[in-house]
Amino acid sequence: MQTNILYRKLIAEPRRIAPLITFRILFGGLMMVGALRFMLSGWVERLYVEPKFFFKFYGFEWVEALGRGGMYGLYCLIAASAAMIMLGWFYRQAAVVFFLAFTYSELIGLTNYLNHYYLVCLLAFMLIFLPAHRRFSIDAWRSPELSVTHVPAWVIHIILLQLGLVYFFAGFAKLNPDWLFRAMPLAVWLPTKAHWPILGPWLELPWLAFAFSWAGAAYDLTIPFWLLWRRSRPVAYLAVLVFHLLTRLLFNIGLFPFIMIFNTLIFFPPAFHEKLLGQIGYRPGKHPIVYAFPSLARSVLRPALFLYFCFQLLFPLRYLCYPGNVLWTEQGYRFSWRVMLLEKAGQATFYVHDPESGHKAEVDNSRYLTDYQEKQMAFQPDMILQYAHFLEKEYCREYNLDSVKVTVDCFVALNGRPSRRFINPNIDLAQLEDGLAHKSWILPHPENEHLPAVSFSNQNQ
């Protein structure tokens, strides 16, 4: 009996469609602005036109940059399809185009990976299958028979669940010694803002880094539950605003704060959204019309959603399959909602060896990589390996050699620790293949080394 009640409440019960409409409009509008901003700020040039070499995602090596004209065309397509999602104009087609175009753009270069871009891909994929255009859209205006007032509850709840998982795993990842007991990397980042008026003197106080670290972990772990509870929801959303606007002020993290500020509005009840949308002419409808998915779609969506959320629950935990500190090895680090956990810098000097003559040449990385690419590559093992393979092919081609050996002298500093050797300097990287297995050529993190103490007193006094 209780199971049936829960199933009906969470899955089958009709819910007014207004929250889904708000989500569609805000998501589409924000993505349109983001794509236009990306082009106008010159990032298409810096990230897709200037590089001579692109680091690839494992399994997506076939994805290539499209040249200057092609990349600007792709981002115009992203902006246009996002605008069409916002307006609900040829919505299904626009959602498919946006998902494919945006995902393609993100797969071009591994150095461009950000958690919130991954989240955008997931939400865009969801929108393809959700009836977010069935009211207050150009599609519904052109074809009134499309218009509905209610959707099954699960349509709203899967978005809540996806956002909740992002927050939960972001908080879970913060339950590590560096974050909780050393306030790293906030203890490094906050004092860099000490020159700010008013806030600056506070930001260099060591205890504030600890306060922010613990508050951030508590926020991420609990905010979905506070947003779900009707009594705490207004205060919880105020916390969302303060948290994300503060992170936007302190750190350069792009659109992520606004993505979460806008998307978490879906936790509010339909009456809130109807009032909000009413400011721009929305009318909820007098007679209930419930959207019913076709029977074939229902039979496919149920197992598909089950598998999708099993993946979302398990994939962020894959780091447990690898030995060592995930912050050091980064095996299982991406796509696991680890947000702002690293202050990591590396220096990688590559050597190309001619096995016949015994000659060894030091590589000038600036010949092949942009400054940003070199900075990112120097502490990420899969990028180091990819670059070594590129150097092997490049030197064999340029000097007409049959084969070369590629080694690297790489040192990495993690979260305020001294710089340590990162990669086995004797191994020929050109002979290694990338894959999902443990990378034994990454040297172990010196777990027991003496760590710099972080004092609660003002270190500048």
How many beta carbons lie within 10 A of that of residue 127, not counting itself?
25
- pTM score, two decimals? 0.93
DSSP assignment of 319-367, as one string? GGGSSS-HHHH-TT-TTS---S---EEEEEEEEEE-TTT--EEE--GGG
- Between helices 18-40 and 91-107, what is the axis angle to 10°? 40
Q: Is the pLDDT of residue 446 over 80?
A: no
Residues facing 103 on adjacent strands: none
pLDDT single digits (tens) 78-94: 999 999 999 999 999 99
Residue 351 CA to residue 361 CA, distance in Å, equals 5
Q: Is the distance from CB of 410 to CB of 378 less than 8 angstroms?
A: yes
Write out the H or E segment, with its range, that includes residue 408: strand 405-414
Task: Label residue 275 by pLDDT band (50, 70, 90).
Answer: very high
Give the confidence band of 253 by pLDDT, cuts at 50, 70, 90. Answer: confident
Residue 1: band (very low, low, confident or very high) from pLDDT cuts 50, 70, 90: low
Query: Residue written as tokens 């956002």?
Result: 163
And the tokens for 327?
A: 């912050």
Q: Looking at 28-32, 338-342, 374-378, which range is the least confident one?
A: 338-342
pLDDT at 449: 53
Domain locations along the chain: 15-320, 343-456
What is the Cα–Cα distance from 423 to 427, expressed in whole angstroms?
9
**pLDDT at site 11:** 79
Mean pLDDT over 332-348 rounds to 94
CB atoms within 10 A of CB 192: 11
Residue 453: pLDDT above 60? no
What is the arithmetic mean of pLDDT over 322-334?
95
Give the model confidence (pLDDT) of 154-187 as tens digits.
999 999 999 999 999 999 999 999 999 999 999 9
The pLDDT value recorded for residue 2 is 61
Residue 10 — pLDDT band, cuts 50, 70, 90?
confident
Q: Contact at 8 Å (CB) between 83 and 35?
A: no
The yes-or-no verdict on residue 223 having pLDDT over 60 is yes
**Residues 378 and 348: beta-carbon distance below 8 Å:** yes
Per the DSSP assignment, residues forming a β-bridge with 405 are: 353
Q: Rg for the chain (alpha carbons), in Å? A: 25
Residue 352 has pLDDT above 80, yes or no: yes
Distance CA 388, CA 366 (A): 14
pLDDT at residue 220 tops 60: yes
Q: State the average pLDDT over residues 242-269.
A: 93
Distances (CA, A) of 157 to 262, 274, 296: 16, 18, 21
Which residues, 6 or more positions from 341, have their beta carbon under 8 angstroms from its beta carbon? 173, 174, 176, 178, 179, 185, 327
Q: How far apart are CA 395 and CA 352, in angstroms?
A: 8
Instruction: Dump pLDDT digits (tens) for 383-431.
Output: 999 999 999 999 999 988 889 999 999 999 999 999 999 999 999 999 9
Q: Three-state secondary structure along 282-314?
A: CCCCCCCCECCCCHHHHHHHHHHHHHHHHHHHH
Phi, psi (degrees; rounded to nearest 5) at 54: -120, 130
Q: Are 206 and 266 in contact (CB under 8 A)?
A: no
Backbone angles phi, psi at 294, to 5 degrees: -55, 150
pLDDT band for position 3 (cuts 50, 70, 90): low
> Omega of the bond prior to 185 within 30 degrees of 0, cis?
yes
